[in-house]
Amino acid sequence: MHHTQQPTPMPVHKYRPFHTRIDADLPDRTWPTKRIEKAPRWLTTDLRDGNQALIDPMTPERKRRMYDLLVSMGYKEIEVGFPAASQVDFDFVRHLVDEDLVPDDVRISVLTQAREDLIERTVQSLEGIKNATVHMYNAAAPVFRKVVFGFDGDGRAECRNIAVQGTQAVMKYASEYLPDSNFGYEYSPEIFMDTEPDFALEIVGAVLDTWGPASDRETVVNLPCTVERSTPNVFADQIEYMSRNMPYRDDVALSVHTHNDRGTAVASAELAVMAGADRVEGCLFGNGERTGNVDLVTLGLNLYSQGVDPQIDFSNIDEVVRTVEYCNQIGVHERHPYGGDLVYTSFSGSHQDAIKKAFDDRERRAVAEGISVDQYEWDMPYLPLDPKDVGRSYEAVIRVNSQSGKGGVSYLLKSEYQLDLPRRLQVEFSQVVQRRTESEGGEVSAATLWQIFSDEYLPSTHSEQPAWGTFALTGVRTESGADDAPRNSETLTVDMSVNGDEHTVTGRGNGPVAAFVNVLSEDFDVDVRVQDYVEHAMGAGGDAQAAAYVECVVGDRVLWGVGLDPNITTATLKAVISAVNRATR
Ligand SMILES: CC(=O)SCCNC(=O)CCNC(=O)[C@H](O)C(C)(C)COP(=O)(O)OP(=O)(O)OC[C@H]1O[C@@H](n2cnc3c(N)ncnc32)[C@H](O)[C@@H]1OP(=O)(O)O
Ligand SMILES: CC(C)C(=O)C(=O)O
Ligand SMILES: [Mg+2]
């Protein structure tokens, strides 16, 4: 069939494709075949780029909560604010220094524009700090040189002067206010992605010549994708070009700072690392200007799920989510990678079927190889990482609604109620559930599933709904014949309630089930034959219940029955009653 699409009514002619401006084309680019084999250095800018983008910027108390979270997760480079912007930011830096809240292995940094008065106040905020970095930025792209700074011509020299004079000011005030600190410098040519590559090299080179990188001097050149405007491969080319051509390369950490305007900040940062970046700046769950900074949680757990240590502790992801939501007053979306409420959950039947089988298979293999299941290699359909590793339980992995099949239903009964239904019973029961979800809609919780199950198969033991069913078993006594007695050697006496009337009856057979079938047929005129039988213990220990499942032919119908009882014989007879009652429901 031929599909005809319509031109958009929107004014698409207003837009131009993004030009890489990479004069030196990179036909020999190396990043496409690289792999990320170790974590880059991380800097979190939650307290700066994240904070500057909030409707309601963090109070000192919220800043402190975020800071403590970042330190506890293991971040070693934390941009804590823009001290020249507000008294709150200035005071927060002082609070960290005065209260000695910066561990020896953590380096805080602060951002400033390249303006001398702002630089002085910024450096001043750090007085007394052990390790700190001042991060200075100025925009370098043509439109900023022309429109924002108002320079004539191409404005390159004037723009470079802002950067060089700013760097000199940083150095001057650092030697004045921070003589005893391990002082570092970070420079960002803002709007790097829109800056001509040769000019980006020129301005970075001029700044580095001024600062003088050395192996014992913390130096960072941060190349921001301030507004994401291209596919990630273009940004990767830009980074590889800079990494290859930048002076002092061995003594400089090449950093990237991607934003998510096109929804590909994570890909841009990852390809940039493949292209040579040593360091990545971002925010937890991608907070930050507009669509946000790159999400450090996704980046970290992307590495983790490939067996690369992110060097960050994500083992309590819900605590991270709660703290970030509290500090930012912005929710984390239900489908946010790794942290959203629904991201380890499958509703659909084919996913649930595969997950249930793979969980069972993995458990079998781990036991066979003598390896703890928690440590066993992860290779699971639909679950890129083990939810337990980030502190999530398996309860939420499978949730049942009208899209679900037998796999999901039986997974929940097994994981929550220790019932391991035989396959044909799974099929039968999932049809019962399906009728229910289709008529009532919505999700079926494990508790509701149990209610449906016990109403269907265990009516007399279920207290919340009226008991139904013709027969109930109230007592069982067995008596075996001599070992050499050939057949019909088992004598079974049962107390039964039949429509509320008590009966005590005795039958014989070559086992209790056969004897019971005879009782049902001879005393109560019920024609039943057992054609399959499965049982298992529920949990471990002496007082564990047994579960029995029987597939019965009752008249001309085939039905399953279920019985639970501490005594396995009684459980089996209850299962037969369950099937018989269902046949006459
Ligand atoms: C991409 C980023 O996220 S960059 C970080 C952005 N974050 C923030 O801006 C948050 C904090 N900022 C602030 O509180 C304020 O902007 C302040 C206190 C720093 C400065 O405020 P103001 O002095 O009122 O200046 P304003 O913010 O309007 O800046 C505009 C002026 O600074 C110049 N300027 C802007 N950025 C820079 C820079 N990085 N270096 C040097 N000059 C700059 C502009 O050209 C403009 O100059 P003009 O007034 O001569 O035209
Ligand atoms: C200050 C710089 C690094 C920035 O936030 C950006 O360019 O996005
Ligand atoms: Mg930014």
Which pLDDT tens digit goes with each residue over 253-293? 999 999 999 999 999 999 999 999 999 999 999 999 999 99
Q: Residues 223-231: what's their mean pLDDT?
A: 97
* pLDDT at residue 465 is higher than 60: no
Are 475 and 449 found together in one domain? no
Backbone angles phi, psi at 429, to 5 degrees: -70, -35
Q: Which tokens hold the place of 73?
A: 């997760």
* pLDDT at residue 484 is higher than 70: no
Q: What percent of the chain has pLDDT over 70?
A: 96
Are 438 and 323 found together in one domain? no
From CA 363, how far away is CA 573, in angstroms rounded?
31
Are 435 and 361 found together in one domain? no
Q: What percent of the chain has pLDDT over 90?
A: 82
DSSP state of 49: I
pTM beyond 0.80: the answer is yes
Ligand 2 center from residue 396 Cα (angstroms): 38
Q: Residues 8-36: what's their mean pLDDT?
A: 86
From CA 156, how far away is CA 224, in angstroms rounded?
18
Is 69 a domain residue? yes
Residues making up the binding site: 49, 257, 259, 293
Name the closest-CA residue to atom 26, ligand 1. 113
Q: For residue 115, give the ligand 1 atom closest to its CA.
A: 41
pLDDT of residue 175: 98
Decide whether any atom of ligand 2 lies within 6 Å of the 224 Cβ: yes
Are 529 and 577 found together in one domain? yes
Q: Which tokens hold the place of 462?
A: 């279920």
Ligand 2 center from residue 190 Cα (angstroms): 6
With 0-12 / 13-18 / 19 or more C-beta atoms within 10 angstroms meaning exposed / middle / buried, residue 198 is middle
SS3 515: helix
pLDDT of residue 483: 60
Are 453 and 494 found together in one domain? no
Ligand 3 center from residue 259 Cα (angstroms): 7
Q: Which tokens hold the place of 387?
A: 């939810």
pLDDT of residue 462: 46
> Which ligand ends up closest to the CA of 162?
1
Chain mean position to CA 94: 35
Residues making up the binding site for Mg(2+): 49, 257, 259, 293
The last residue of one of the domains, among 395, 430, 457, is: 457
> Which ligand ends up closest to the CA of 224?
2
Distances (CA, A) of 568 to 454, 536, 544, 549, 562: 18, 9, 10, 11, 12
Residue 372's domain comprises 349-381
Contact 228, 268 (CB under 8 A): yes
Q: Residues 473-479: what's their mean pLDDT?
A: 89
pLDDT of residue 479: 83
CA quadruple 551, 467, 395, 352: dihedral, nearest 10: 40
The last residue of one of the domains, among 328, 363, 398, is: 328
From CA 303, how far away is CA 311, in angstroms rounded?
10
From CA 99, how far away is CA 104, in angstroms rounded?
13
Tell me the pLDDT band of 461, cut-offs 50, 70 and 90: low
Is 3 a domain residue? no
Is 396 a domain residue? no
Q: Which string of DSSP letters, residue by residue, matches 131-185? A: EEEEEEEEE-SHHIIIIIS--STT-HHHHHHHHHHHHHHHHHHHHHH-TTSEEEE
Q: Which tokens hold the place of 204?
A: 């970075």
Decide whether any atom of ligand 2 lies within 6 Å of the 226 Cβ: yes
CATH of the domain at 102: 3.20.20.70
pLDDT of residue 567: 93
Is 338 a domain residue? no
From CA 523, how far away is CA 287, in angstroms rounded?
74
SS3 string of 334-385?
Answer: CCCCCCCCCCCCECCHHHHHHHHHHHHHHHHHHHHHCCCHHHCCCCCCCCCC
Tell me the pLDDT band of 463, cut-offs 50, 70 and 90: very low
Is 124 a domain residue? yes
pLDDT of residue 22: 66
* DSSP bridge partners of 291: none
Are 366 and 324 found together in one domain? no
Is 23 a domain residue? no
CATH of the domain at 428: 1.10.1220.20
Q: For residue 82, give the ligand 1 atom closest to its CA.
A: 11
> Which ligand ends up closest to the CA of 292?
3
> Which ligand ends up closest to the CA of 159?
1
Q: For residue 226, give the ligand 1 atom closest to its CA.
A: 1
* pLDDT at residue 239 is higher than 90: yes
Q: For residue 227, give the ligand 2 atom closest to its CA.
A: 8
Are 218 and 81 found together in one domain? yes
Are 237 and 324 found together in one domain? yes
* Residues in Cβ contact with 78 at an 8 Å cutoff, skipping those fewer than 6 apart: 43, 44, 47, 67, 70, 71, 106, 107, 108, 109
For the chain, first and last CA: distance in Å? Answer: 51
Decide whether any atom of ligand 2 lies within 6 Å of the 194 Cβ: no
Name the closest-CA residue to atom 6, ligand 2. 226
Are 183 and 280 found together in one domain? yes
Q: Which residue has the higher pLDDT, 272 or 499?
A: 272
Tally of CA atoms within 13 A in the half-sphere of 311 that contains its CB: 10
Q: Which string of DSSP letters, residue by residue, matches 530-568? A: EEEEEEEEESSSTT-EEEEEEEEEETTEEEEEEEEESSH
Are 476 and 451 found together in one domain? no
Is 477 a domain residue? yes
Please state the domain count of the chain: 4
Backbone angles phi, psi at 423, to 5 degrees: -55, -50
CA angle 349, 353, 359 (to 5 degrees): 140
Question: Which of 181-190, 324-333, 497-506 is predicted least confidently?
Answer: 497-506
CATH of the domain at 543: 3.30.160.270
Contact 584, 561 (CB under 8 A): no
Decide whether any atom of ligand 1 lies within 6 Å of the 151 Cβ: no
Model pLDDT for residues 550-585, shown as the tens digit of each residue: 999 999 999 999 999 999 999 999 999 999 999 988
Decide whether any atom of ligand 2 lies within 6 Å of the 222 Cβ: yes
Q: Given ligand 2 and candidates 188, 193, 229, 281, which is best to mutate, with the most ligand atoms within 8 Å of its CB?
A: 188
From CA 135, how far away is CA 126, in angstroms rounded?
12
Name the closest-CA residue to atom 5, ligand 2. 49
Decide whether any atom of ligand 1 lies within 6 Å of the 149 Cβ: yes
From CA 429, how far away is CA 324, in angstroms rounded?
42
* pLDDT at residue 415 is higher than 50: yes
Are 358 and 229 found together in one domain? no
Closest by CA to 514, choosing from 503, 501, 530, 498, is: 530
Is 30 a domain residue? no
Q: Is the ipTM of this complex over 0.90?
A: yes
Closest by CA to 420, choosing from 409, 428, 431, is: 409
pLDDT of residue 437: 83
Name the amino acid, one letter, at 101: L
* Residues in Cβ contact with 534 at an 8 Å cutoff, skipping those fewer than 6 apart: 422, 548, 549
Decide whether any atom of ligand 1 lies within 6 Å of the 148 Cβ: yes
Ligand 1 center from residue 113 Cα (angstroms): 6
Q: Given ligand 1 and candidates 113, 122, 167, 256, which is best to mutate, with the most ligand atoms within 8 Å of its CB?
A: 113
> Which ligand ends up closest to the CA of 223?
2
Are 260 and 287 found together in one domain? yes
Q: What is the dihedral sign for C-alpha 335, 338, 344, 349?
A: positive
From CA 457, how far away is CA 451, in angstroms rounded?
10
Chain mean position to CA 437: 28
